[in-house]
Structure 1
């Protein structure tokens, strides 16, 4: 992390800590950085409360990092917690009843929006239990999708659309895949051909109530917390409207080249079918949705080269692996 990044993180941490009284935490509350990816997550520990909390500070760069869209995300999270047995964090209201706060300071690059949740214990499923984890992911995804179909969002509800146009034209500001690591020459030609085929095939997919609706959009194993008592889902920051099976494509993020990738897909579908039917026409295009997601990730990895060690570590290899996946896909579907 650069010195500039350290200064920015310190400023954000300072301003975030200034919100503790707004949520009714005591003066002895500590706020410490817990993790960092697109957003910064802080652990909030109040000695006068039995439970811990987390404070999420959005990066502010994505098109849906607005107070209205974040509040809409939180309202779906509240509804899931109230209406279903899915284990999700409890959203905290501030003393004034608000769900989203905004912080800013001269030494911050931009204002940031903040939400506070209950802290959930648990760990990502271990490497040797991915099949079991994927089956559980599919089951939970089906429950969420059934809720989304029946739930009436409140007035003013606004979340992004995870459509091919939004992803491939970088309307949500994840990063254009053309700006990914090492994109040029034959790689650019190959991935451009991939984009053309993905666009054509997704143009023919149904977008009715049974196929398309409110989804998590980032339901990877990293966002699944397992402990002996329950399996919880976190990180609804990307939730929006898309094909329900795009949640399967998202689940496979960074795992697409594993030798057991097809088995993981089958496990996810097996879990899903325990709860709900899988749209047959969309199921046939799961490989297309996986490649749509992969193009999205190429852009994200490219943008994050300046910000995250993880992205720098996988950058060149991720593009090379994507080309192999694209070649295999085009041999089947072009």
Structure 2
């Protein structure tokens, strides 16, 4: 996968052009983050009023149909769960997705309302972490339950986050072998784990009870809390996948920490308030956690221009190999 943001000024230009298609009297764009997309705060430069959040998709990552699927799900979540998500905002012509052409490339732009609140990540009191994960588990189950009962799920067009698309040679985020400076021994051990993961998940299978539409990145950075309101953001990775992958995603970048078993138990407590979590699901938690960890090796290798990656890479390989060795002791 090539450098995602070789021309950041084009993304800024696309955001500004798209914003002019909305009924805003004045608008300017301020970059919030580069990741799978570029996200901008659209604001009034005279009053500083926050008008919306504008997401400019990386060309080639999602199709128009995939963005339409996201908007359809967001509207369902707001209508049929106790959760709140950022509603898409229609442009002056009533459409929700703006296609901006720049230098022969199409940029898909989606505006959503600006949600206020504090992310769970911002509450950095370690004692609060289990409570956060219990909330994450409950929120995740509400989303899973909604997709199970929504007959529109069959019309969703999105990625499948299965083993091949996460850790295979042609994975969506690239090949984990491309992570810099791995030793031959590290590669061999991870390859051995990938074979075990594939074998175990082939046996686990895909059923309506364990596989469906998932958020795929439901961690503390993507939950906002304001009073009693719980708000979910960043649906860019949503697609089809195993439900337990949402638990593994909640642990992204902290999988090797000593407190993880307590966080997993807290997440399960929250999840079980809404939906069952079976013993068959439970025995594969370690498999899903390691699969996510390896998936993120590929993501970091192919996204080194992305805002947070340099910090995440610090110590990541050492932590990964600790998890790999433990997994091989358990299942090798």
TM-score above 0.5: yes
RMSD: 2.2
Deviates more, 1:87-96 or 1:150-159: 150-159
CA offset at residue 78 of structure 1? Answer: 1.0
Deviations 1:250-307 (A, max 9, x none): 00000101110111111100000111111321121011011111111010011122x0
What's 1:208 paired with?
207
- For residues 249-288 of structure 1, what are the structure 2 equivalents within 5 Å? 249-288=248-287
Q: Is the Cα contact below 8 Å between 2:34 and 2:307 reproduced in 1? A: no
For the residue of structure 1 that corresponds to 2:320, the secondary structure is helix
Deviations 1:306-327 (A, max 9, x none): x035322332621221111110
- For residues 143-162 of structure 1, what are the structure 2 equivalents within 5 Å? 143-153=142-152, 156-162=155-161
* Equivalent-residue separation in structure 2 for 1:308 and 1:97 (angstroms): 32
Is residue 2:85 matched to residue 1:88?
yes
CA offset at residue 36 of structure 1? Answer: 2.2
What's the TM-score, normalizing by structure 1? 0.91
Deviations 1:92-129 (A, max 9, x none): 122333222222323x8x43211110011122222222
What's 1:314 paired with?
312
What's 2:36 paired with?
38
Q: Does the C-alpha gap of structure 1 residues 226 and 259 become closer, same or farther in structure 2, counting only changes over 3 Å?
A: same
Candidates 48, 57, 67, aligned match of 1:70: 67
Deviations 1:170-228 (A, max 9, x none): 54531211111222310110110110111111111132111111100010111111223
What's 1:192 paired with?
191
Gaps in structure 2 of 5+ consecutive residues: none
* Equivalent-residue separation in structure 2 for 1:303 and 1:271 (angstroms): 34
CA offset at residue 19 of structure 1? Answer: 1.7
Deviates more, 1:53-62 or 1:319-328: 53-62
- For residues 49-64 of structure 1, what are the structure 2 equivalents within 5 Å? 52-62=51-61
Is residue 2:235 matched to residue 1:236?
yes
* Equivalent-residue separation in structure 2 for 1:319 and 1:198 (angstroms): 19
Candidates 93, 99, 113, aligned match of 1:102: 99
For the residue of structure 1 that corresponds to 2:118, the secondary structure is coil
* Equivalent-residue separation in structure 1 for 2:169 and 2:223 (angstroms): 27
CA offset at residue 49 of structure 1? Answer: 11
Query: What number of residue pairs does the alignment pair up?
Result: 324
What's the TM-score, normalizing by structure 2? 0.91
Q: Does the C-alpha gap of structure 1 residues 80 and 314 become closer, same or farther in structure 2, counting only changes over 3 Å?
A: closer
CA offset at residue 167 of structure 1? Answer: 1.2
CA offset at residue 231 of structure 1? Answer: 1.9
Gaps in structure 1 of 5+ consecutive residues: none
* Equivalent-residue separation in structure 2 for 1:181 and 1:314 (angstroms): 13
CA offset at residue 245 of structure 1? Answer: 1.2
For the residue of structure 2 that corresponds to 1:96, the secondary structure is coil
For the residue of structure 2 that corresponds to 1:116, the secondary structure is strand
